[in-house]
Structure 1
Amino acid sequence: MRKLANILAVTLLIALVSPVFAEDAKPFADATEINLLDLLPPPPADDSAQTRAELGEILTLQVTRTPEEAALATADDAEEIWRFANVINNPKFTKENLPKFSAFFDRIVATEGAVIDPAKKFWKRPRPYLYSDLVKPIVELSKSGAYPSGHTTLGTVMGIVLSNMVPEQKAAIMTRAWEYGHNRMVAGVHYATDIEAGRISGTVISQTIMTHDDFKAEFEAAKSELRTVLGLTHA
């Protein structure tokens, strides 16, 4: 019995001290609170002139993108706050140095999926490479619907939240957020209307979760940690 009690005690201790990873993160909101089916127009029909025009944009990007642009679009396939490292431009901006900040943004990532995935499943817009074999994606292929873009949604939320933590760099952070979304077209996996819907979705999600008490508390803790580690004055 004592041995069992010791095992349970060790297990509980491990659970208490172990970091929370993205797959375990609790969303700040989900589709029951933010129903995108009520907020967004449906995507253009597959056989519409709009879809054909958007396909043309993707094919143009495919032949005009530089190796540097392609490399950035490929790297931006990662859904994580650390893709903003080139804007923050501080070697201390790492997961190891920022555990509270990292766990907070894990919840942001989880929120994007909880809100966006039901809309994707409902509209089921085929990805550009499924519509035309002329499209040659440069990132891992996804089985989810194209509309709205989850990466763009996440990039928008991350940009808005991060810029509220570091308002001194708001313009650069939001420019990076817009680039993060645009790179889904560069990569050949989303249409322009997917990106536009993602930016709208990200803005709505941000405005909604900012009203939640748990968000407010974790935001302040993450912000304080970030500004301390980066050597910024506390705003």
Structure 2
Amino acid sequence: MPAYSAPRLRLAIVASLCSALMAGCASAPSPDRAAPTPVPELRPGVPAGYLGKDLPDSLVLLPPPPAEGSAAFRQDQAISRAARKLRGTARYALATSDADLHPAHAAGAFACALGVPISPQDSPRLYLLLQRTMVDAGLATYSAKNHYQRVRPFVHYRESTCAPADEAALRKDGSYPSGHTAIGWAWALVLTQLQPARANPLLARGRSFGESRLVCNAHWQSDVLEGRAVAAGAVARLQADATFRADLAAARGEVEALQARAAQPAGDCAAEAAALAIRIPGVL
């Protein structure tokens, strides 16, 4: 399992995952919902993933990133140019929102696609499931990230990203593969397993969550594509974990209860759909 010393994504996953579901935090679930049983923690208030040392090894799983000057890298550059033209649009605003991995915010990115609210108060079991799978998917990218230390597009072009406050840390954090993409695609796969009738909107949102990294100028397309591969490996490995399967079943029951009382996502789903309709030309 990768060490927890590399900067950006691990800080987001480990240092910023304090959950309202854990003992001692301020928020509490609705009275008709029991809080989940406490789980192992990486540090106080930060729940561990399910896989521990059994993460897929992204360095073994993935090929090397495209070399500068190669046809594959020229494709990365072409997509980057197209994505950067979306700055100032509604799609750029959504990409900026997708960059925020604090779980209380990030999990809500999938609420419209799922059709019910995702929060510590409305869906505590689902929220905890997403927290723990975030850790697994995100950390699974780090053996390749640390080995290749690929330079990110905003550094390559001497430009900015949609999250300027993060740029100093991102400069020290390898671009390949994309951890944000791995998290978003893992969530899309897990939520599709939980609610297969919502597969199309969930998978589309998972795809767009990764593509937001192109719009933000934080990743190359090959980083995004291989982030999905790491996510698929992590979710496949999760299927053998009994605790994950039990938590998935509990979250499914919770979502079905929300559906039965017609609970609606808190966000503006029409505005989200309009932003997602703005596509990046040439994206695979």
TM-score, normalized by length of structure 1?
0.83
| 2:139 counterpart of 1:110 | no
Partner AA of 1:125 in structure 2: R
Which residue number corresponds to residue 216 of structure 1? 245
> Structure 1, residues 52-78: CA drift from partner, whole Å, max 9, x if none?
431232122212456101101101112
Unaligned runs of 5+ in 2: 1-21, 26-37, 263-284
| 2:67 counterpart of 1:45 | yes
Q: Hey, what's the Cα distance between the residues in 2 that align with 1:101 and 1:60? A: 36
| 2:161 counterpart of 1:137 | yes
Which residue number corresponds to residue 94 of structure 2? 72
Deviates more, 1:178-187 or 1:219-228: 219-228
Which residue number corresponds to residue 181 of structure 1? 210
Unaligned runs of 5+ in 1: 1-15
Show structure 1 runs of 4+ deviating over 3 A: 16-23, 30-33, 46-49
| 2:226 counterpart of 1:197 | yes
Partner AA of 1:118 in structure 2: S
User: Which of 32, 50, 66 is the aligned partner of 1:28?
Assistant: 50
Partner AA of 2:162 in structure 1: I
Partner of 1:137, secondary structure, is coil
Q: Hey, what's the Cα distance between the residues in 1 that align with 2:140 and 2:254? A: 27
| 2:84 counterpart of 1:62 | yes
* TM-fit CA distance, 1:86: 2.3
> Structure 1, residues 189-231: CA drift from partner, whole Å, max 9, x if none?
1001001101111111111111111111111112211221232
User: Which of 110, 123, 138 is the aligned partner of 1:84?
Assistant: 110
Partner AA of 1:100 in structure 2: R
Contact preservation (8 Å) 1:112, 1:150? yes
Partner AA of 1:61 in structure 2: A
| RMSD of aligned alpha carbons | 2.5
Which residue number corresponds to residue 125 of structure 1? 150
State which structure, 1 or 2, has the greater radius of gyration over its C-alpha atoms. 1
Which residue number corresponds to residue 159 of structure 1? 188
Partner of 1:113, secondary structure, is helix
TM-score, normalized by length of structure 2?
0.69
Deviates more, 1:27-36 or 1:153-162: 27-36
Q: Hey, what's the Cα distance between the residues in 1 that align with 2:126 and 2:86? A: 37
Q: Hey, what's the Cα distance between the residues in 1 that align with 2:249 and 2:261? A: 15
> Structure 1, residues 108-154: CA drift from partner, whole Å, max 9, x if none?
11112321123211111111111122x43112322311100001111
Which residue number corresponds to residue 6 of structure 1? none
